[in-house]
A and B are shown apart, each in its own frame.
Chain A
Amino acid sequence: MIQDDIKSNVLTTTLESAINWGRKNSLWPMPFGTACCGIEFMAVLAARTDLARFGAEAIRFSPRQSDLLIVAGRISIKMMPVLIRIYEQMPEPKWVMSMGACASTGGVFDTYSVIQGVDQFIPVDVYVPGCPPRPEGVVEGFIKLQDLVGKEKLSDYAPAPTK
């Protein structure tokens, strides 16, 4: 019967859910690893904890080809303009995960040359605590980010009203 065929072969959803489902299950990260968290991030991508099973298969080192910027490691005052430039080069939609204590708040380094939290200058979506965070922690942050992406609305990306 036609009704049975339709029930088993056709899926109805809203446009937003479909788009969010596609975005969250194929987040392509760009690792911006500077210090020790960069090494732990390499361990996340390696065989034991594998980030590719969540869809993050294509690790590109080019900002123009990725949609998730993972800031892993402390950011110094010499590196901050580079980070801002790379963030601005990424096309929308884009998300930022701040991995580790140094990227989130400055970490152990309360000195003249470490930025005390990347979120002062670029918008951050997920903070993963730890020094360095365990690979399982990074995976949990990634799953939380996927939940956030799933709840987005299409009107979020409309241009902001000019003042």
Chain B
Amino acid sequence: MPIANILSKIKEEFPDAVLDITEFAGEKILHVRGQDIFTLLTRLKADGFNFLADLTAIDNLTLGGYERFAVSYHLLCHETVERLTVKAYISEETPSLPSVESLWKTADWQEREVFDLYGIRFEGHPNLIRIMNPDDFEGYPLRKDYPRLGHKERENFPVVDRGIQKKESNDQGN
């Protein structure tokens, strides 16, 4: 079924969940409310979008938008070769969404990465722990209010003492 039909049907059936349907550079974007994302994605998967290509998040602090965080899902239908972007909006006070790991197993690691870098929790995820940063890392690096240089985690290591008398080589080389 072509994408325009699917989107108009979804807009009829879920009028409160769907916030908007926009288009940019020839691609359609479906904006939905965060807590209804599981029902919508189940419906889209049944309609033919069998492949979840990408799952990521955007912090809308300075960009503006419906809420502060938007988790975007990029879907692909192998049969009709169509792509669709679904953006789920969640607020800063309750950053949590239902997990779609039961629909597509690829969401497992990608949701862990979103949790690690943004602090968004996914309910129903089997193993929601940090994946990229060390386990004792504090803070969520990709949020807009986290500084790029970090909070001195990269200087926090012991200086190795060799225990010998060797002086550092001063050879300037030539």
Contact = CB atoms under 8 A, between A and B. Distances in A.
A77 B137 CA distance: 10
Q: How would you classify the secondary structure of chain A's contact residues: helix, strand, loop or mixed? A: loop
Contacts of A122: 160
Interface in A143-163: 144, 147-148, 151-152, 155-161
A148 B149 contact: no
A148 B166 CA distance: 12
A161 B159 CA distance: 18
Given A113-B141, A144-B173, A123 B162 contact: yes
A158 B164 contact: yes
Contacts of B173: 144
Contacts of A87: 160
A158 B154 contact: no
B112 to A, nearest CB: 15
A115 interface: yes
Interface residues of A, number: 32
Interface in B136-173: 137, 141, 146-151, 153-160, 162-169, 171, 173
Interface of B: 133-134, 137, 141, 146-151, 153-160, 162-169, 171, 173
7 nearest A-B pairs in the assembled complex, by CB-CB distance: A112-B150, A156-B166, A78-B134, A122-B160, A121-B157, A158-B165, A160-B165
Given A77-B156, A156-B165, A159-B163, 17 more contacts: A77-B154, A87-B160, A88-B160, A92-B164, A110-B148, A111-B149, A112-B147, A112-B150, A113-B153, A113-B154, A121-B157, A123-B162, A123-B168, A148-B169, A151-B171, A158-B165, A159-B165
Interface of A: 77-78, 80-81, 84, 87-88, 92, 110-116, 120-123, 125, 144, 147-148, 151-152, 155-161
